[in-house]
Amino acid sequence: MTEAKAVDAKRAGGKAVDTTRLARVAVTLGGLAAGYVLVVGLHRAEILINDYYLQILIWVGINVIMGVSLNLINGFTGQFSLGHAGFMAIGAYVAASMTKLMGMPFALSLAAGGIAAAAGGLVVGIPTLRLAGDYLAIATLGFGEIIRVIILNLDVVGGPRGLPGIPAHTTFLWVYVIAAATVVVVRNLIWSRQGRALVAIREDETAAETMGVDTTRSKIMAFVVGAFFAGVAGGLYAHKITFIDPSQFDFMKSIEALVIIVLGGLGSITGTVMAAFVVTFLPEILRAFADYRMIIYSLMLILMMLYRPRGLMGTAEFSFRQLGLGDRRPAPDKGGQRAGRSDGPPPVLETRGVCMDFGGLRAVSDFSMTLRQGELVGLIGPNGAGKTTVFNMLTGLAEATSGRVCFMGEDITRRRPSEINDMGVARTFQNIRLFSNLSVLDNVRIAFRGERLYSMTEALLRAGRYATQEEQIYGKSMEFLRLFGLDDRASEIAGKLPYGAQRRLEMARALATKPKLLLLDEPAAGMNPQETQELLELIRWIHERFDLTVLLIEHDMSLVMKLCQRIIVLDYGVTIADGAPAEIVKNRRVIEAYLGEEAV
């Protein structure tokens, strides 16, 4: 229905699409302004909101900024950070020193606080983001504490005595505007190509890497943006409370932000905003219980987690779509034609004497092969022969102990997976690694990042090339889905697709990164004969249609025999045969490897 409208709009001349866009911007800004007027109006008229509540609303706003910025790191990028208070402290101290000690204007000081915190995020992020999961959490916790101890030892800002007499610049208007801006910016980021890369990292870092996502850069970006807003929140905090000391930014402050995002739902901005209200108002309401306040608060926290372990909102969001306010998805671009590819000189991939040792075990030994442009080659061998290890070395997930891997004449032996993907190698995985909580469409959309797309600023402001390029990305992604018969399931959650469809989606996703070489790891595993037959035709077809070179690991011999022009056989990491299917079936060593010596 909405889609049809959008199509009509497009036909009407393209301008209408911009009108919906403008309408959405207008509604957003109008809604935000109305919200402000409502709160201030009620306050003036002394209905519902008295001075005390207005103060609490300011704290809510600060908590919204803290929560949303942490959710970008924890909820959307999946990087467990426990050091948010440290960034808040940097922002608070920098901003407060600037206004109090140097007499700088408030806005400038807030911005400086944010930038200082972002710089802190960069310094903390570069070393720590190599860690994962709980280790990252603990390292960020450590950094948060170290930042605090450094401030504790800085006499300029009062050390342990703190910094009193900060001008009370923070008003409801300031907090409201900045909180709204934070929400809009983070939301825009999430819905951009840069943001999709973040979510892909959360879902499956390895798969994201092999799809060309520069995971380190993306994670640091999320960390820096998150730290920036935490710094701004710190500045607002300092100019609200007017007295800061290091103990205010201890570990518990980070926990407070964490509680907000977990209670709201990791990966839901709407939930974060709601939880910021709950977490800020709850202790105030509990003031009536005096001494028992914190006991009740902690009990409620436990109970809320026991009954809503996924938070208030899960990952759901409030959106215009739910209000029926026009999904401006354009009609898929029918004309999206792949650029013609030069049929360069034959060898696409060459490996020379590649070895892989795991401890004392040589998983792959002296593996040499050449794949020529347009070849469709099978890589077979008994379980444990080292086939997947070969794939991992070709895609940068594992580094060869010795030997060289060259792709299009360039040495890629020590390149990172994302770089190798950028050069034109894509793969699928034996045990399907989709971004399973994302939609089918988003799984493919993540592929579109590289090629001179819109910038980060354009993404955050949804300006410039953002709209037109997002439309193109949508169009191209839908085209890929259509090729694999998945277009009618585009909005379904990838993890809930039937098995065969998941396999196809993984191939669609790999193809969307525009590879020259496609590596398929057991694509027929778990398929019935009917599905295998369809797969056979599908691979043949994409091989031709996309002018690909294909290397395929497979245990289904009939598939391999029918499909491949050439077969390489590995056994215990050693290449024991390499030739046309007809030769391979007769090869003595191959039969031995598969059936044992007696069978020969």
Give the footprint of other proteins on this chain (CB under 8 A): 80, 127-128, 130-131, 134-135, 137-139, 141-143, 145-146, 149-150, 152-153, 160, 206, 251, 255, 258-259, 262-263, 266, 291-292, 294-295, 297-299, 301-302, 305-306, 309-310, 388, 392, 397-398, 429
Q: How far is the CB of 502 from other proteins (least distance, A)?
A: 17
Residue among 139 and 278 whose Cβ is closer to other proteins: 139
Whether residue 273 contacts residue 64, with contact meaning beta carbons closer than 8 Å, is answered with yes
CB of 391 to other proteins, least distance (A): 8
Least Å from the CB of residue 31 to other proteins? 31
Backbone angles phi, psi at 405, to 5 degrees: -115, 125
Nearer to other proteins, 246 or 332 (CB): 246
Residues present in the chain in total: 600
- φ/ψ bin of 350: left (φ > 0), alpha (ψ from -120 to 50), beta (otherwise): beta
Amino acid at 471: E
Q: What are phi and psi of 331, to 5 degrees?
A: -65, 140
Shortest Å distance, C-beta 257 to other proteins: 12
- C-alpha triplet 492, 494, 500: angle, nearest 5°: 105
Three-state SS at 466: helix
> 391 near 567, Cβ under 8 Å?
no
Least distance from other proteins to the Cβ atom of residue 336, Å = 31
Q: How far is the CB of 167 from other proteins (least distance, A)?
A: 29
- Whether the CA torsion 433, 436, 440, 443 is positive or negative: it is negative
- Supply the DSSP symbol for 321: G
What is the dihedral sign for C-alpha 152, 157, 161, 164? negative
Beta bridge partners of 566: 377
What order of strands is seen across the sheet that includes strand 410-411? 361-372, 347-358, 402-407, 410-411
Q: How far is the CB of 80 from other proteins (least distance, A)?
A: 8
Q: Which is nearer to other proteins, 124 or 453 (CB)?
A: 124
Q: Which of 79, 81, 80, 99 is nearest to 91 (CA)?
A: 99
- Distance in Å, CB of 325 to other proteins, minimum: 32
- The minimum distance between CB 573 and other proteins, in angstroms, equals 17
CB of 154 to other proteins, least distance (A): 11
Tokens of 515: 């590879």
Cβ distance to other proteins smaller for residue 135 or 541: 135
Whichever of 235 and 271 has its CB closer to other proteins, that residue is: 271
Q: How far is the CB of 140 from other proteins (least distance, A)?
A: 10
Nearer to other proteins, 42 or 301 (CB): 301
Nearest CB to other proteins, comparing residues 194 and 389: 389
Q: What are phi and psi of 96, to 5 degrees?
A: -65, -40
Burial grade of 216 (CB within 10 A; 0-12, 13-18, 19 or more): middle
Distance (Å, rounded) from C-alpha 129 to C-alpha 132?
7
Q: Write 333-337 long-range contacts (CB < 8 A, 24+).
A: 333/471, 333/472, 333/475, 333/476, 333/479, 334/479, 336/472, 336/475, 336/476, 336/479
| Two tokens, residue 293 | 């306040």
Of 39 and 398, the one with the shorter C-beta distance to other proteins is 398
Whose Cβ is closer to other proteins: residue 310's or residue 372's?
310
- Token representation of residue 435: 């971004």
Nearer to other proteins, 297 or 320 (CB): 297
CB of 104 to other proteins, least distance (A): 29
261 closest CA partner among 231, 230, 236: 230
Q: How far is the CB of 223 from other proteins (least distance, A)?
A: 15
The nearer residue to other proteins, 153 or 319, going by C-beta atoms, is: 153
**Residue 555: closest CA among 576, 578, 532:** 532
In DSSP notation, 106-141 reads: HHHHHHHHHHHHHHHHHHHHHHHTTS-HHHHHHHHH
Nearer to other proteins, 103 or 309 (CB): 309
Closest distance of CB 311 from other proteins, Å: 8
Structure tokens at 28: 């957003």
Q: Are 378 and 552 in contact (CB under 8 A)?
A: yes
Q: Which positions ≥6 away from 202 have C-beta within 8 Å?
A: 76, 77, 78, 79, 267
